[in-house]
Amino acid sequence: MIDMLKPAVIIFTLLSILTGIIYPLVVTGIAQVAFPSKANGSIVVKDGRAVGSELIGQSFTDPKYFWGRPSATTGFPDNAMASGGSNLGPTNPALADAVKARAAALIAADPGNRLPVPVDLLTASGSGLDPHISPAAAMYQAGRVARLRGLSEDKVKELISRNTEERWLGLLGEERVNVLKLNLELDTIGR
């Protein structure tokens, strides 16, 4: 029995060291050399301090800022420790009620806006942490942000255009606007 147990313990120990220590250290080392920003969370730094991540949505509620996608995370909006969608199906009355409440909040923040509300301002993403909105969602909010900041709407629209990220290789994904980056740049031009 000991003759059979000894090789199993040795293999278990070696594989534990290999897969639990050596492999993670090698992969982490490669990531730190090849992709240091991404390996460290794509942290956005302003005035020498971290203000967020390019990869995790931030909750902006002040009407003078662009608002991101709604978050379905538990505890608080954009809770990275509770990533996940709402799992509400399209026929679920709770989803319809949430969409109506979100639309009402957008309309209340900008009652003169007669544009149709883009869907990404009404529904949460699959992770609940999406840092991006569509250019249409940003343009929908441009009038409100411009008015509350005392800026021309054309200036705000130009800012949106400058912050619009193209499709990857011109083919994959959709055009998008990183809400954190857009709001940080907005802070530099007008309070």
Condensed to tens digits (0 to 9), the pLDDT of residues 99-120 reads 999 999 999 999 999 999 999 9
3-state secondary structure of 73: coil
User: What pLDDT, on a 0 to 100 scale, did the predictor assign at position 70?
Assistant: 87
The answer to whether 143 and 110 are in contact (CB under 8 A) is yes
The single-letter DSSP state of residue 101 is H
Low-confidence ranges of the chain (pLDDT < 50): none
User: What pLDDT, on a 0 to 100 scale, did the predictor assign at position 77?
Assistant: 74
**How far is residue 55 from each of residues 8, 58, 65, 133, measured CA to CA in Å?**
43, 10, 19, 12
In sequence order, the 6+-apart residues with CB closer than 8 A to the CB of 20 are none
User: What pLDDT, on a 0 to 100 scale, did the predictor assign at position 186?
Assistant: 92
Phi-psi region of 173 (alpha: psi -120 to 50; beta: other; left: phi over 0): left
User: What pLDDT, on a 0 to 100 scale, did the predictor assign at position 171?
Assistant: 83
User: What pLDDT, on a 0 to 100 scale, did the predictor assign at position 41?
Assistant: 76
Cα 96 from chain centre: 23
User: What pLDDT, on a 0 to 100 scale, did the predictor assign at position 78?
Assistant: 72
Among 164, 143, 165, 155, smallest CA distance to 189 is for: 155
Residue type, 13: T
Helix, strand, coil % over all residues of the chain, rounded to 5: 50, 10, 40
Helices 179-189 and 135-149, interaxial angle, to 10°? 30
Q: What is the CA radius of gyration of the chain?
A: 22
